[in-house]
């Protein structure tokens, strides 16, 4: 006689939901914090830490930009959803300056890219550089 399939308890079902939710949360975290080095020896760039805050009126992008020449800051809209910030460093930094001798390379700029999930007006951005942190404000498009 074929074995009767065991009826799943509510706890089994809930367990499956929790596992699926955990997997989704991990996937989201991986998308937010992609793996990979925070430097690029080909472009001589170090990746700057950055943050995006979306309010009802504007999009505020900040980036931690130590050791840069403020007048070299460039903020570009790569496309309708992607903002790129770059700036030249006051002094080139080599791996050896950071105590690392098993890699070779030097870095002359800081760079970050941020994907913006809402429509914004890149023509009307306002830039401020205070205490080594760059703040760029874009009005949202209605």
Partner 1 sequence: MSEAVKIVEKQTIPSEATMIVGLPDVGLVGLIATSYIITELNLEEIAYMDSDLLPPVMVLHKGLPRAPLRFYGNKNFIAVISELAVPAPSVYIVMRKIVDWGQAKKVKRIVSMGGIPVENRQAITEPEVFGSASNQELLDTLTKSGVKVMNEGYMVGPQALSMRYSINSNIPSIAILAQSFYNYPDPQAAAIVLKELSKILDINVDVSKLLEKGEEIRLKARDIMKRTQEEMSRMKKSQEYDMPLYV
Residues that bind partner 1 (CB under 8 A): 29, 32-33, 38, 46-49, 51, 62, 64, 66-67, 93, 98, 130-133, 135
74-77/126-130 β-pairing: unpaired
**Minimum distance from residue 67 beta carbon to partner 1 (Å):** 5
10 vs 31 by CB, closer to partner 1: 31
**Minimum distance from residue 137 beta carbon to partner 1 (Å):** 13
47 vs 84 by CB, closer to partner 1: 47
79 vs 106 by CB, closer to partner 1: 106
DSSP labels for the chain?
A: -PPPPPPPPHHHHHHHHHHHHHHHHHHHHHHHS--S-SEETTTTEEEPPEEEEE-SSEEEEEEE-TTB-GGG-EEEESSSSEEEEEEEEEEEEEGGGGT--SS--EEEEEEEEEE-SS-B-GGG-EEEEETTEEEEEEEBP-
**Minimum distance from residue 111 beta carbon to partner 1 (Å):** 12
**Minimum distance from residue 140 beta carbon to partner 1 (Å):** 18
46 vs 85 by CB, closer to partner 1: 46
């Amino acid at each position: 006689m074929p074995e009767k399939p065991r009826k799943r308890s509510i706890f089994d079902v809930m367990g499956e939901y929790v596992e699926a939710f955990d997997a989704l949360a991990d996937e989201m975290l991986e998308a937010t914090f992609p793996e990979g080095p925070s430097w690029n020896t080909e472009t001589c760039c170090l990746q700057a830490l950055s943050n995006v805050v979306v309010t009802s009126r504007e999009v505020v992008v900040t980036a931690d930009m130590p050791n840069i020449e403020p007048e070299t800051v460039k903020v570009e809209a790569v496309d309708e959803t992607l903002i790129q910030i770059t700036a030249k460093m006051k002094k080139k930094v080599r791996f050896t300056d950071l105590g690392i001798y098993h890699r070779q390379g030097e870095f002359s700029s800081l760079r970050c890219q941020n994907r913006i999930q809402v429509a914004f007006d890149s023509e009307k951005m306002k830039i401020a550089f205070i205490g080594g942190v760059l703040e760029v404000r874009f009005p949202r498009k209605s």
